[in-house]
Structure 1
Amino acid sequence: MGVEILGHRVHPMLVGLPIGLLVGSVVFDVALMATDEPRWADVSFWTLGLGIVSGLIAAPFGTIDRLGIPSGAPAKHIGLWHGVAAVLSVALFAASWTLRYQSPPTPTTLALGLSAAAVVLLAIAGWLGGELVFRHGVGVHRGVAD
């Protein structure tokens, strides 16, 4: 069970965008700190907001994929922690974004700390997602290689 397009799961197709945007926002924060160029605060603010929205779009598809894992399978438990880490990461990024919601959107120390913690959680969620696919074969169609 899972939402597919042309035989490919939708959740893995969608997660690249929020991952890139959310990690990118932290990179832009580093650029801001390194250069003191205020435009980086704007770029970080908008990539952060788009990353949060795209992460929220990807989440229901991951939930549907998890529902398709048989009860009692080790992947069910891993899927739960993958989802929890991902949702907590997006929540921390959202808190960071909220703290920046001013003009100009210069991040506070707390906002930067929340984003840093969120990146760590996002990395854990990604690692657990890899465990689901590569160790447990979640969403993998078994077939003969060409």
Structure 2
Amino acid sequence: MDPHYATGSGSAAAVGRHPIHPLLVPLPIGLLMGALVADIVFAMTQDPFWARGAYWLLVGGGVTGVLAGAAGLVELLGVRRARRLGIAWAHGLGNLAVLVLTGVNIYIRTGAPEAAVVPAGLALSAVVVLGLGVTGWLGGEMTYRHGIGVTRRLGAPQEAPPGTPQGHPAE
């Protein structure tokens, strides 16, 4: 049975009550998905531009993934409710595995990106994107089902900014 919470957990790493972790996660997700697309295009065209592009997308995804992971680790260790959830640990360990695979993918391409794309690099990129789909789903479960990283006053009415007519909530 899924627990439902009347309040959120708050955030252990936030700026102005806005959690940092969800701010950072779109960067590695987009970069690593872009690397898979570049690998597919390289496999179809054999144009070295796409192999080099995939390499740099992987590097960017790895760097930003480490930053997002650090913020996520602060949340995991700093929010008691998160530490008690098995899916929080699965989310974190799954993303750690994604970062390790990304590091392997970068390593095998260093020096000769074109030589490593097909089949090993392409396979690693595909596994990474699949892994991100699973860990992203787990992250969404934590946020939307368990209230991890959201304001403590979950569902509380928002105050309208000054000058907003009554009956028209702020967007």
Identify the range of structure 1 (107-116 vs 28-37) with the bigger mean alpha-carbon deviation.
107-116
Give the number of the structure whose alpha-carbon radius of gyration is greater: 2
Q: How many residues align?
A: 144
Kept in 1: contact 2:77–2:83 (CA 8 A): no
Quick one: which of 91, 96, 112 aligns to 2:100?
A: 91
Q: Could you say what the CA RMSD is over the residues aligned between the two structures, in angstroms?
A: 1.7
% of aligned pairs identical? 35
What stretches of structure 1 of length at least 5 have no aligned partner? none
More helix by share: 1
Mapped partners of 1:128, 1:135: distance in 2: 10
1:15 to 18, 21, 25: 25
> Within 2, Cα distance between the matches of 1:45 and 1:110?
13
Partner of 1:144: 157
User: Unpaired runs of 5+ in structure 2?
Assistant: 1-10, 159-168
Aligned ranges 1:116-131 → 2 under 5 Å: 116-131=126-141
Cα deviation for residue 70 of structure 1 reads 2.4
Greater relative contact order (Cα < 8 A, sep 6+): 2
- Give the secondary-structure state (helix, strand or coil) at the position aligned to 2:80: coil
Q: Answer whether contact 1:78 1:128 (CA < 8 A) is retained.
A: yes
Instruction: Compute the TM-score of the two structures, normalised by the length of structure 2.
Output: 0.78
Residue number among 19, 26, 37 corresponding to 1:27 in the alignment: 37
The one-letter code sitting in structure 1 at the alignment partner of 2:90 is W
